[in-house]
Amino acid sequence: MQHTTRAGAIGVALLAAIALAGCSTGDSDSGTDAAASCAPSDGPVTLEFTSWIPGIEDAVKMWNDENPDITVKVQTGPNGNSGTYQNFFSQLEAGNAPDLGQIEYDAISSFRVQNGLENIGVCDEVVAAKDQFIPWTWGQVTLGTADEVYGVPQDSGPMALFYRSDLFEANGIAVPTTWAEYKTAAEQIRALGGYITNFSTSDINQFAGFVWQANGDWFTNDGDAWTVDLTGDESTTVAEYWQDLIDNDLVSSYPAWTEEWNNAYNSGEVWSWNSAVWGANSISSGAPDTAGNWSVAPSPQWEAGQSSAGNWGGSSVAVFKGTEHLYEATKFALWLNTSEEALTALNVSANIYPATTEGLSLPSLQEGVEFYGGQAIYDVFAEAAGQVNPDFVWGPTMTQTYADVSDGFKKAVTGQGTLLEALSSAQDSTISTLKAQSIPVAE
Amino acid sequence: MSMLTRTRGATADDLKISGTKPKESMISRGAALLIMGVFTLYFLVPIWWLFVSATKDRGQFLTTPSLWFADWNLWNNIGDLINYGDGVYLRWLINSLGYAGIGALLATIVAGMCGYALAKYRFPGRELFFNVILGGVLVPATALALPLFLIFSQVNLTNTYWAVLLPSIVSPFGVYLSRIFAAASVPDELIEASRIDGAGELRTFFTVSIRLMTPALVTVFLFQFVAIWNNFFLPLIMLRSEELFPVTFGLYAWNTQLNQIPELRTYVLVGSLLSVIPLIVTFLLLQRFWRNGLGSGSVK
């Protein structure tokens, strides 16, 4: 009996120790809240950088060779939403986050509202670098604020239309330049037994790209509170357009990135894909039998004569709260994403499409691509990159928003409910998620 | 407990004693075979698919029937896999063997000693200890990963071998199994005899008791080996450096990068196929002990 009591006492003491340890981390966190100044450190510095971009080690090695005083150690893992973001949050909680990390544009807000990122806008070099970047990518890292910057843009995903030029030509169908023409083409193709495209229900970023192209805006932040507007006029137009195509069985709805999906493109069942620049690889790897038969054209427009592009994907390199080397970290992040040697290395190893205006004219992006019949497809994307609306902002709870929209979309393609209803219910749940996290919402 | 619930005809022994063989109806026999056949297919088809897919090159993977062979590219694929990224795949395989082999061995020793002590020694708080450990069986390892990460962060052990190895040597189920088995298979008289012969408690355990408990310990080892080999969430949370990854986590990381590097698809497939082999070998080697162990537990 006495033993039992003692064991209990030890247990309580252990728990208390763990709880105390937890508290002390909290204290040290709030200690670093004071704005870090952007001054060089004394002596050599070692930075930790977590990224999942394959081959990024090669670019980092170049840096390490040239900068013996600032050594960067790369750590790797699965891509952001597959686990690395969750790890960043745990590490921030534990107080051992790396100095720098890869963060996609749509996740920056989440880290910002959890107070996980340093404002690198306090560094003069960052402010000076602004003009090197494509304007809308800069908008993604400032989150619409005037003098705060939460990352250095790395890559972008301007959207254009991939299409089977051989099939369009053989059947005398003109390449659509407006969404109205796209629907007409869809009807012609359906009559021939194919589908013009596949509507993705799992990857909401494609749909968001369409809304972005239509000048819609899902989130705005006026500095005090967030406005959520998933069902604005532009979103409604886009949702009703695709709903119409779904209702008339003009598009397929295979889950994206699966074997069925690849097979639908490989077998010629699906004829086009409105996707981002990195989609060029998805097609060439997923549909190898169709090599040489694809081309790229600008995205269809809502009004004839317009030139507006959407964006799908893209990421930045951010500096985490608590780093002791803000100056060195930003210096490295700027080099990685603006210098020609680094951008070329990233483009070669991981098909990274740069976010700087200079980067778009990299020699490796000027050549014709064999899979696309020798077309210099990156010219189309470079043009699209300049046509992306700079004001589109992501909200702080995108994981939940994506999941809710996706659930609704999956039902909509099976005939239960509509895309618009899905957006509307995701709007409600997003507002309640924000409130649950004590993030102010403007009604 | 099996003594009480045992019914006539439930084991082969009873059949011999009763002498007459009860008649099986053809229908029930056929139904049983059919169900077994369906489940065998259900479990084997994915492995067959994996094997067939690993023998194809990337183009054929999509364009040829998924359950039959095209050109035989397995050896090339394995060569490419091993060369990719400075042979990081082999490193992962060795890591996995290390985590699972060492972890399971230590876990078996700890669980065996703990279970033996709980079965054979009387001390205050014994049942309380045992109940707490039994409670541990109910807590999923996944739920513990985050708290473990926060604790390990305090002592700077994250992103080290220890971060994965230390939590792996705890096996509440192993303690439970060892206790049940030790109670049933190690006679008190034998322990007393060895004490009278002058052996200390440790020596008694390692020379006498452990032999009697072998079937149970092999089972614990096998379970723990498979559990650590397949444990994915703990490495995901703890590890950052590629050279520390176990093979499951490494393949997962590759799989999330398919959009950037399409040829990884082949490597993930071939890598998965190769990563199953150590498990199959372990099973085949230990199967004899294992069956024996489960059997003795149930009829004793």
**Confidence at residue A146, expressed as pLDDT on a 0 to 100 scale:** 79
Categorize the per-residue pLDDT at B292 as very low, low, confident or very high, splitting at 50, 70 and 90.
low
Higher pLDDT, A76 or A170: A170
Q: What percent of chain A has pLDDT over 90?
A: 72
Is A78's CB within 8 Å of B153's CB?
Answer: no
Q: How many angstroms separate the CA of residue B294 from the nearest CA in chain A?
A: 34
A208-228: average pLDDT: 91
Amino acid B285: pLDDT: 86
Of B128, B256, B265, the CB nearest to A52: B256
Rounded to whole angstroms, the Cα distance separating A288 from B263 reads 12
Over residues B153-161, mean pLDDT: 92
* pLDDT (0 to 100) of residue A236: 96
pLDDT at A241 over 80: yes
Mean pLDDT value of segment B273-289? 86
Q: Which residue in the set B66, B124, B256 is minimally distant from A79, CB to CB?
A: B256
Chain B positions contacting chain A at CB under 8 Å are 58-59, 62-63, 66, 123-125, 128, 146, 149-151, 153-154, 156, 158-159, 236-237, 239-242, 252-253, 255-265
Examine the pLDDT at A361 and tell me if it is beyond 80: yes
Give Cβ neighbours of residue A6 (< 8 Å, ≥ 6 apart). none
Of the pLDDT bands very low, low, confident and very high (cuts 50, 70, 90), residue A24 is very low
The residue ranking higher by pLDDT, A33 or B168, is B168
Q: Which residues contact B78 (CB under 8 A, 6 or more apart)?
A: B270, B274
Contact A215, A430 (CB under 8 A): no
Q: How much is the average pLDDT of B279-285?
A: 87
Q: Is the pLDDT of residue B299 over 80?
A: no
Q: Which residue in A has a C-alpha nearest to residue B255's C-alpha?
A: A78
C-alpha dihedral over B108, B109, B115, B120, to 10 degrees? 150
For chain B, say whether A378 makes contact (Cβ under 8 Å). Answer: no
How confident is the model over B19-78, as pLDDT tens digits?
556 677 888 899 999 999 999 999 999 999 999 989 988 777 777 787 888 888 889 889
Contact B150 A90 (CB under 8 A): yes
Which residue in B154, B232, B269 has the most chain A C-beta atoms within 10 A of its own C-beta, making it the best mutation to test that interface? Answer: B154
The ipTM (two decimal places) reads: 0.77
> Which among A3, A50, A263 has CB closest to B240?
A50
Question: How many CB pairs (< 8 A) connect A and B?
Answer: 101
Chain A: closest CA distance from residue B238 (Å): 8
Q: Assess A90–B contact: CB distance below 8 Å, yes or no.
A: yes
Q: Does A76 touch chain B (CB under 8 A)?
A: yes
DSSP annotation of B56: S
Contact between chains at A3 and B63 (C-beta distance less than 8 A):
no
Q: Which of A3, A259, A350 sits opposite B260 (nearest CB)?
A: A350
Tens digit of each residue's pLDDT (9 = 90 or more) over A246-274: 999 999 999 888 878 888 999 999 999 99
Phi, psi for A24 (deg, rounded to 5)? -65, -35
Residue A52 Cα, gap to closest chain B Cα (Å)? 8
User: Would you call A7 and B252 a contact, using CB atoms and an 8 Å cutoff?
Assistant: no
pLDDT at A364: 85
Which residues touch A31 (CB under 8 Å, ≥6 apart)? none
Instruction: Give pairs for B245-248: CB < 8 Å, separation 24+.
Output: B245/B92, B245/B95, B246/B92, B246/B95, B246/B96, B246/B99, B246/B100, B246/B164, B247/B89, B247/B92, B247/B93, B247/B95, B247/B96, B247/B271, B247/B275, B248/B96, B248/B275
Which residues in chain A are contacts of B236 at CB distance < 8 A? 77-78, 83, 87
A21 pLDDT exceeds 50? Answer: no
**Predicted pLDDT of residue A32:** 41
Q: Cβ–Cβ contacts within 10 Å for residue B5, how many?
A: 7
| Record: contact A54-B261, CB cut-off 8 A | yes
pLDDT for position A257: 81
Nearest CA in chain B to A93: B150
Q: Which chain B residues have a beta carbon less than 8 Å from that of A95? A: 153
Would you call A258 an interface residue with chain B, using a CB distance cutoff of 8 Å? no
- How many residues appear in chain A? 443
Mutation target for B interface from A18, A29, A86, A87: give the one with most B CBs within 10 A: A87
Give which of A79, A92, A284 to mutate to test B binding, by max B Cβ within 10 Å.
A79
pLDDT at A443 > cutoff 80:
no
Name the residue among B276, B273, B279, B235 with its Cα closest to residue B81.
Answer: B273
Which structural domains are found in chain B, ordered by start?
Answer: 24-72 (no CATH), 80-299 (1.10.3720.10)
Rg, chain B, Cα only: 24
Q: List the structure tokens of A428.
A: 């409600």
What domains lie within chain A, and their CATH numbers?
6-156+314-363 (3.40.190.10), 159-310+392-436 (3.40.190.10)
pLDDT at B300: 42
- Beta strand A272-276 with A159-164: parallel, antiparallel or unpaired? antiparallel
**DSSP category for residue B204:** I
How far does B261 lie from chain A, in Å, by closest CA?
A: 7
Q: How far is B114 from chain A (nearest CA, A)?
A: 17
Question: Could you tell me the pLDDT band of residue A1, with boundaries at 50, 70 and 90?
Answer: very low
- Quick one: how far is CA B132 from the chain centroid? 23
How far is B158 from chain A, CA to nearest CA, in Å? 9
* Residue B68 to chain A, least CA–CA distance (Å): 16
A432 interfaces chain B, CB cutoff of 8 Å: no
User: How do residues A114-142 score in pLDDT, each as one tens digit?
Assistant: 999 999 999 999 999 999 999 999 999 99
- Number of Cβ within 10 Å of residue A86's Cβ equals 16
Q: What are phi and psi of A55, to 5 degrees?
A: 80, 5
Mean pLDDT confidence for B226-247: 91
Shortest Cα–Cα distance, A88 to chain B (Å)? 10
* Cα end-to-end span (Å), chain A: 61
